[in-house]
Amino acid sequence: MADNTTNETPLVDVRHLKEYFPVNTGFFKSTPLKAVDDVSFQIKRGETLGLVGESGCGKTTVGRTILHLYEPTDGEVVYDGRPIKSKADIDWFRTKSTMVFQDPYSSLNPRMTVSDIIGEPLDVHHMCANAKEREQKILELMDHVGLNSEHASRYAHEFSGGQRQRIGIARALAVDPEFIVCDEPVSALDVSIQAQVINMFDELQEKMGLTYLFIAHDLLVVRHISDRIAVMYLGKMVELADAAEIYDHPLHPYTKSLISAVPIPDPKIARANKRIPLQGDIPSPLNAPSGCPFRTRCPYAQEKCSQSMPEFKEVSAGHFVACHRTEEINQ
């Protein structure tokens, strides 16, 4: 893949990442489920890359594999110029990067107080010299995410969904990370709370110089927070560009369909907007179509689409797309 940054070293450089899970498909027989299949992208320091796609397309697996919560099947993750390979690399990487999980109900231990949940990363990485310093750091983190100090001794189940997600974010900030993988952090929350949490992510990024990989399926949320957006389909990257460029000039048929489905608050514009419905269901990653994975649902599919996977290439400055017919369908 061509370089999609300026000359500066990207903070996160994902190269040909693959994550295959063996699935038992019969007597002593297993078939690889290609959750992530040859995905490459870069994230610059201080930017937010939004990662979107339908449920089951491999978004979350990308985030977890980058952080080595899953051992990559193939490919490599380079962080700030250092390849993450050995156990020592991973241990170092985990003091620089962290994750905010999707479900604030299941990602917090119900037997631990808020203070212990937030303090756990401090204990694991031995980041505080004594109990007083630890307590001070926890209260500081709680203040960052809008929680009161009296919440420290309470348990997670005593809080609303939005407050629980704030606890999860405070825990993620405990190691003073540079890079955070946000795995659909607002999808389990009420719409009114979503805006507050998104704004908090923005403020924290400005205040602490954070870099985000923001995984979501809600394109409105992604547009609001992202500098660039990457679109995934069935384990493959199909398009990557600046957020405004993706919205105004989507090139891949799948991206066009996703954008056409985004609700528009103005009724006049909404009526004039033409939905591009997709035919059929998303295929199983266990039995993915040959060639381009999107061809079974694509209105532009031709014979060549079934024969080879289109190259993920740069068609204009910073705009990458994987489609055999990009030029023909975007004239």
Torsion of CA 119, 124, 125, 126, to 10 degrees: 80
Which pLDDT score is estimated for 55?
85
> Which residues in the chain come in under a pLDDT of 70?
1-7, 263-266, 268-273
Q: Catalogue all structural domains in the chain, each as residue range(s) with its CATH number.
A: 12-96+179-192+213-329 (3.40.50.300), 105-176 (no CATH)
Which pLDDT score is estimated for 260?
82
Reduce the DSSP state of residue 31 to 3 states and report it.
strand
Which pLDDT score is estimated for 68?
94
Residue 315 contacts residue 331 (beta carbons within 8 Å): no
Which pLDDT score is estimated for 7?
53
pLDDT in tens, 260-284: 877 666 676 656 667 777 777 778 8
Torsion of CA 173, 92, 210, 68, to 10 degrees: -90
In this structure, the number of other CB atoms found within 10 A of the CB of residue 15 comes to: 16
Token output for 141: 């983190």
Range 77-116 burial, b when 16+ CB lie within 10 A, else e: bbbeeeebeeeeeeeebbebbbbbbbbbeebbeeeebbbe
